[in-house]
Amino acid sequence: MLTEHMKWTRTPRDYAVGPDRIEITTAPHTDLWQRTYYHFRNDNAPVLQTETDEKFFSFVVKTDFSESHHRFDQCGIVMYLDTENWLKASVEYENEAFQHLGSVVTNHGYSDWATTAIAADVKTMWYRFSRREDDYCIECSRDGEHFTQMRVCHMWAGAGTIRFGVYACSPEDSSFRAVFTDMKVTECAWQAHDGQQPD
């Protein structure tokens, strides 16, 4: 059972962890972000992760955010190495019309945010996080079977032992319950590149 090996980085006040289900009730004004554009630094979101030195694997999880209701309410997958080196992917509530499906990669203390708009009535999302040495791929799926690439990235601090798992937070004055199920670690589903060779 994966949850047996998971540890908190910042334990939330309200949570439940079972063999195949994690629930996190977010606290207001919790977030992960570093510097870029907004200039502020937020580093207080609860993160539940397991540790590995395996160089090639994939991690799959289903997220349920049916109760999200306020701007930036979010939950998803995370690889949190330290305050200045981490990545995350989630659906962030915006309003009754749309949400942001996106990812953030933070290297050396600077975050980016890549997003696309999706309908506000989407309330569940699957993610697949894959590692090939110090490169990473994040994918999403509506059904847990057919995954679409969101991002390929390099993590400068991600070559050795890493930690990965789930997170949830509410950056503004809000709180909601995030539910994580169907977690598994598999052989790396992100295949080696077979195409154009370097010059």
Q: Answer yes or no: are the C-beta atoms of 119 and 44 closer than 8 Å.
A: no
Reported pTM: 0.95
Which residue bears the tokens 């047996």? Answer: 4
Which residue bears the tokens 């319950």? Answer: 177
How would you write 110-174 as a 3-class SS string?
Answer: EECCEEEEEECCCCEEEEEEEEECCEEEEEEECCCCCCEEEEEEECCCCCCCEEEEEEEEECCCC
pLDDT by position in tens, the chain (length 199): 689 999 999 999 999 999 999 999 999 999 999 999 888 899 999 999 999 999 999 999 999 999 999 999 999 999 999 999 999 999 999 999 999 999 999 999 999 999 999 999 999 999 999 999 999 999 999 999 999 999 999 999 999 999 999 999 999 999 999 999 999 999 999 999 888 776 5
Q: What angle do CA 139, 33, 127 make, to 5 degrees?
A: 15
Domains of the chain: 2-186 (2.60.120.200)
Give the C-alpha separation, 168 to 77, whole Å.
Answer: 9
